[in-house]
Amino acid sequence: MDNEKCELIELFGIHFERLYNVSPLGGRILATLVIDGCKSGLTFDELVEKMQASKSSVSTNLNLLLKTGKIEYFTLAGDRKKYFKAAPLSQRLKNYLTIVDGEKMLIEKLMNYRKKNISCVQEEINFQNMCAYKEHVLQVEQLLLSTINKFKSIEIENQIAK
């Protein structure tokens, strides 16, 4: 089981490193929190031990992951430690909505420009491609919103069950 967990952390770490453009350590911290920290969270000292990295490196990466909304922390009454967890899936997917919103704005501006300046067949084809791409982005947005709502419902049910 330990080898399987280590392999999963490594695979997810590489995935997160590429997906979120974070350092290898940042990717592994996030992977560890997804795989190991989902129940009770992990403290800073536990992460330093698990990552076998310096305190400053772990701290730097935790701060980056916190600022980008990939992780969150909580405290317990009477305990001065912070417990880190991966952010809920609904919150992590909201980051994709921000990207989609930016894409929609750019598409709209480009479509308006293309529409006013079509002067040849290739530009007409490009405009049609932009229309199809806009439709795709709108479908992705709806799918993301639906998925976020499902995750929120699950997260709320799990909070109530605690």
pLDDT in tens, 81-128: 999 999 988 988 888 899 999 999 999 999 999 899 899 999 899 999
Q: Please tell me the least confidently modeled range out of 59-73, 115-129, 148-162.
A: 148-162
How many structural domains compose the chain? 2
CA distance 162 to 95: 27
* Structural contact between residues 95 and 87, judged by C-beta atoms closer than 8 angstroms: no
Same structural domain, 124 and 154: yes
Query: Which residues span the domain enclosing 70?
Result: 2-86
Half-sphere exposure of 146 (CA within 13 A, CB side): 6
Mean pLDDT of 55-68: 97
Give yes or no for residue 37 having a pLDDT over 90.
Answer: no
Q: Token pair for residue 35?
A: 């795989």
Structural domain ending residue among the three candidates 54, 70, 86 = 86
Among 77, 41, 78, smallest CA distance to 62 is for: 41
The percentage of the chain sitting over the pLDDT mark of 90, rounded to a whole number, equals 80
Give yes or no for residue 1 having a pLDDT over 80.
Answer: no
What's 11's domain CATH number? 1.10.10.10
Give yes or no for residue 162 having a pLDDT over 70.
Answer: no
CA dihedral 140, 9, 32, 55 (to 10 degrees): -120
What integer pLDDT is reported at residue 32 of this predicted model?
96
Same structural domain, 99 and 117: yes
Mean pLDDT of 123-137: 94
Position of tokens 């490196």? 57
What integer pLDDT is reported at residue 156 of this predicted model?
87
Same structural domain, 111 and 40: no
Mean pLDDT of 138-160: 92
Structural domain ending residue among the three candidates 61, 86, 111 = 86
